[in-house]
Structure 1
C-alpha cells in the first residue's frame, strides 16, 4: 500500500507523456495536411511574383481548411499572412480586420510574442493616421507584453516609438522620459539604430524646449555611434543625414549660421540628386541664408526649386514647410507675396490635419496681416493642441507608474541574484582578508597605529562630506516629490504650457545646483583657479562677489584635505548668502600669515539670530574643527555677517 502513491504518480506521468506525444502527432499531421501544404507553396509563389489578389483567394481557402481541422496554429499564421496580403494591395479596412483577428487568435493561444507584435503594428498604423491617443494605448500594451517575456530589446524599441509620438504632439517632457527609459533597456546592446534614435529623440525634445547646447550634445552622442561603415549601415544613411540636418538646425537657432551652412552643403554633395531629403536640406539652407543675409536670390531660388519638386510629388507637409519659409522670406519686401504664401501654407496645413502646423501657419499669417476670424481660430487651435497634450499626458502618467506584475518579479529576481552573488564573493574572500589583516597587524603594528591616527583626523572631514551627500540625496528626493506633484497637477487640470515648462526648468536647475555643490574638487595645481571659479559662479546681477585679497601661491604645500575643507566651507557660506541673506555685496580675503591661513568673509545681508546660527553653521564649524582650525562670526539681525576662519598649515 505504501507503494501506491509512487505507482500512481508514475502511471500519471506515463499518461501525460503519451497524451503529449499524441498531441504532437496530431499537430504534426495538421501541419503536413496536403491541401494546406499545397496552398502554402502556391501562396508563397504568388507573393514572390507580386500577385497578391490571387494570394488572398488561396489564403482564404487555406484558412477554411485550417478552421475545419481546428488547426489553431495555422489559423493564427493564416490571419497574419492575410493581413500582409491586404496590406500589399492597400485595402486598409481588411488590413485592420485581419490584424485584429491575428491578435485575437494569438491571445487565445497565449502567444505573447505575436500579441505584442500585433499591438505594435496597430499602434504604428494609428500613428501614421495621426490618431495619437489610440496609438499610444497600443504601443503601451505592446511594451508591457514584451516585458512579460523579458524581451527588453523590443520594449526599448517601443519606447522610441512612444517618445516620437509624444514629441509629435508637443509633449516634450514626457518624450524625454520615454527616451531615457528606452536607453535603460538598450544602452548595453548593439542595437545602434534604436539607440541613436533615442538620443535623437532626446536631442529634438531639448531643442524644442530651448536647451540647444544639450540638444547638440545628444546629437553628437547619436552621430558618434556611426564610427565605421558597419555601424553606419546599421543606423542607416538616411537617419545619419537626418541627425546632421537637425544639428545644422540647432546651429541655425544658435545663430551660428556659418556652421549650419557648412553642414547643409556637406549634405548636398550630389546636387543633382532630386530626392525628398535633398530638397528639405535645400529649404533649410535657404532659410539659414535668409536669416544671415536677409532676402537674397539664392534663398528664393532654392525655395522655389523645392516648392516645384514638392508640388510634383504632391507632398503636402513639405509644401507647407516651404511655403511658410517663403512667407517669411518675402515678409519685409513684398507683403502681398508673403501673405499669398502664408495663405497657401495654411491651406496645406489644414490638409495634413495637424493642429500644430495650422497653428504655425496662422501665427505667420497674423504677423503679416490678420483677417476677421484669424485670432478666434488661432485661440481655438491652440486650445485643441493643449487638450491633445493633456489627454496623452494623463495616459502616460498612468502607464508609467502602473508597473505590471511580471516587471516587479523580474526586478525582484535580478535583485536577489545580485545579493546572492555578492554574499558568495564575500564568503570566498573572507578567510584571505582575515589572514591579510592579521599579517599586517603583526608586521606593521606601529605603522597601523600611525595610519589610524591620521585616519581619525581625516575621518571627521569624510563624515562632514558624507553628511553633505546625505543632505543632497534628501533634497533630490524632495525634488522627485516636486516632479510627482507637477505630474499629478497635469493629470487633474488644464495647465498653461509656459507655466509647466517654467516649473520643470526650476526643478532641473535645483537638481543641477545640488549636483554642483557635491561635485569633486580639483586639489592639484589648478586649485587656485578652482577657488576663483567658485566665487565667479556666485556672481550675479543681484549679488556682487569681490575677492579683496588673494595670492594664488599661498596654496603651495597645503594638503588636499585642507583645500577641500576650505572650498566646501566657503561654498556653504556663499550658498547661504545667496539663499537666505538677501545680500547685495560679498567681500572675501584669503591670506597666509605665520604658517596660518586667515580667511575673512563679509556680506551686507540681513544677518541672523545667534541661536539659529548654532544649528545652521554646525556643519561648517565641524569641518573647520576637523582640520584644527577655528571659525568665528559676528552678526546681528539686519546688519550683515562677518566670518573669520583661521587654519594652521
Structure 2
C-alpha cells in the first residue's frame, strides 16, 4: 500500500517537474526573442535619432530656432525615454535653451521639467547640470529667486568640470545680486575672480573673468563703494573690447553709463550710445530695450524724444522686455561645440549602458526561473504535507477505532456473554435473580457510558474548565480522594485549543490507569504557571505490581507522544515506597 502511494506521488511530482522545466525554457526563449527584437528596434531607432539630432544641431548653430525646435521634437517622438535616455534628455535641454534665449521662460521650464525624471538614468552628470542650469535661469528670469537658487545649488553639487562649477557659482551669485544680497554675491565673485583658468581656451577664460568683474562691480556700485565698482567696470570693459571676448560688452557700456549719469553726464551719454549701437548689432530686442532705458536717462531734447518713442514701440510689442543680467559664462555656440566634442565619449558610455542593461535583463531571467522553481517546490511541499496530513488523520481514526474496539472487547464482551448465559440458565421469576440481572445490566450500561464519555468531543470553549473538573470528579469514589490545586488560576480561554485537548486526554489516561489499580487512596493534581509555561503535576500513592508497571509503561509512552506535539516535556518518578508521580510542561 505504501509503495503504491509513493508511486502515485512520484508520478504527479514528475509530471509537475516536467511542466515546470518546459515552462521555464519557454519563458527563457520568449524573453530572449523579445530582447533581440527590442535591441534591434532600439539600434535602428538610435541611428535615426542620432541623425535627426545632428541635423537639429546644425539649425541650432545657424540660430534657426524654429527649425531647430521642430527637428529636436522629431527626435523626441522616436525616443523611448528609458532606452534612448541620453538623446531624449539632450533634445529636451536644447529646446529648453532655445526657448530661454527667446525669453519664453514658460515653454523652457516645461521642456526642462519633462527631462527631470530621467536624469537618474544617465551616469554622466553633465546632462543633469544642463537641465538644472537652464531651469535655474528660467526661475531667475521670472524673479523666482528661491527656486533659482535651489537649482543652481543642485548643479553645483554635481561631480562636473571646474568650468561648470564656476558657472553654477556665478549663477548663485547672480541670484544673490538680484535679491539685493550684495555681500553674499561679492564673496562668491571674489572667489571666482581669484581663479580664472577653468577652460582650455584663453579667450573663454577672459570672457568669464569679464562677467565676474562686471557683476562684482555692479554689486560694489549698489553698496556705494564707487571706487571698487569703477575698477571692476574698466577691467571688464578692457577685456570685452577684444573681438574674441566681446560677449557682455553691452552690459559693460550700460553699467558705465549708469555709473557716470550724475558724475559725468557727457561720459554717461557716450557709454549709453555705445550700448545702443552694440545692442542693435546683436539684433536682440531685449538688449535694445535695456540700452534704450539707459539712453533715455542720459539724453535730452530730440534725442530723448526719439529714444522714448522707440522704447514705447518696442515695449508695446513684447509683454516684458526687461531681462536680468546674463549670467552664463559661455554662449550657446560654445555649449554646442562642447556637446559635439563629447560625442565620442557619450557613444562609448551609451554602449556600456546598453551592455549593463542586457546583463540586468539576463539576471532578471535567472531570477524568474529561480522564483518559479521555489514556488514549484513549495507547491509540491504543500501537496505532500496535505497528503501526509490526510494519511495521519486516517491513521488516527483507525487507532481510535482500534482502541474503542479493544475497550469494548476487554470490558464489555465477557460481561455481556456472562449476562446472556445467566439469562438462559437462571430462573428470572425469582426476585433475587431478577435484581442480579438488573445490576449486571446497570454495570454494562455504566461502562458503556464511560467509554462513550472518554471518546466524546471535548468542549474547548468557556466550558472547558468545568468539563475538566467534571472529568476529574468522575473518578472520585468512597475509597479514592482526589485533590486539585491551581486549576482555577489558569485562564483557559487564552490557551490554544490543541493544548487543552492534550491536557484533558493525558489526565484522563492517567486517571484510568489509576482506577485499574486496587491500592490507590489519594490522588493530587496541581497546575502552575512558571516562566510562561504551564506545569501539570499528577501524583498518587499506589504500590505498583509487575502487571501495572507494564500497563503504566505503555500509558507513559502515549503521554510522551501527546506532549511532544505541543512542544512540551515530561518527567516521571514511580517508586514502590513513595507511589507514582509525573509532571509535564508546555508553553502557554
User: Looking at CA atoms only, which structure, 1 or 2, has the larger radius of gyration?
Assistant: 2
TM-score by length of 1: 0.41
Normalised by the length of structure 2, the TM-score is: 0.45
